[in-house]
Amino acid sequence: MDSKLSLTSQKILEKQFTKNVKGYDPDEVDEFLDLVRADYMAYDSKLAEAKNYVRRLEEELKRVQDSKQELEIDNARMKKRLSGIKPGDKLNEENMEYIQRINVLEHYIYLTGVDPTKIK
């Protein structure tokens, strides 16, 4: 099916049918209505494509927003955790490994329903 529309609102408005003894030529009217129908089918197809595209974009946007929110929470948690480091303290690879291990352990503690920041 060709998605390019054959008619415009102006062409429809200006359409003149040939008159015969019984009114308008039925073949000419049928041919024109076939064009109108084909254009509506093409329009409906494009509209469905556009709606699907918008739906997919909205789903992707929601996924990105959720991911952003999770990253912001993780960022705040890391800032709080690293806030005690003094400018003179060296943050080396071993310290980062410890922090990552602690993060994983805290994650599992959160999953059990316990807030590790409240543990003394």
Q: Is the pLDDT of residue 73 over 70?
A: yes
DSSP state of 113: T
Q: Is the pLDDT of residue 21 over 70?
A: yes
Query: Taking residues 70-77, what's their average pLDDT?
Result: 89
pLDDT given for residue 3 in this prediction: 59
Q: Is the pLDDT of residue 1 over 50?
A: no
pLDDT in tens, 41-66: 888 889 999 999 999 999 999 999 99
DSSP line for 44-112:
HHHHHHHHHHHHHHHHHHHHHHHHHHHHHHHHHHHHHHHTT--TTS---HHHHHHHHHHHHHHHHHHHT
* Residue 6 to residue 44: CA distance in whole angstroms: 14
Which residues, in sequence order, are bridge partners of residue 66?
Answer: none
- 1 or 100, greater pLDDT: 100
Query: Taking residues 12-32, what's their average pLDDT?
Result: 83
Q: What is the pTM of this model?
A: 0.48
- Report which secondary-structure segment, H or E, holds 7: none
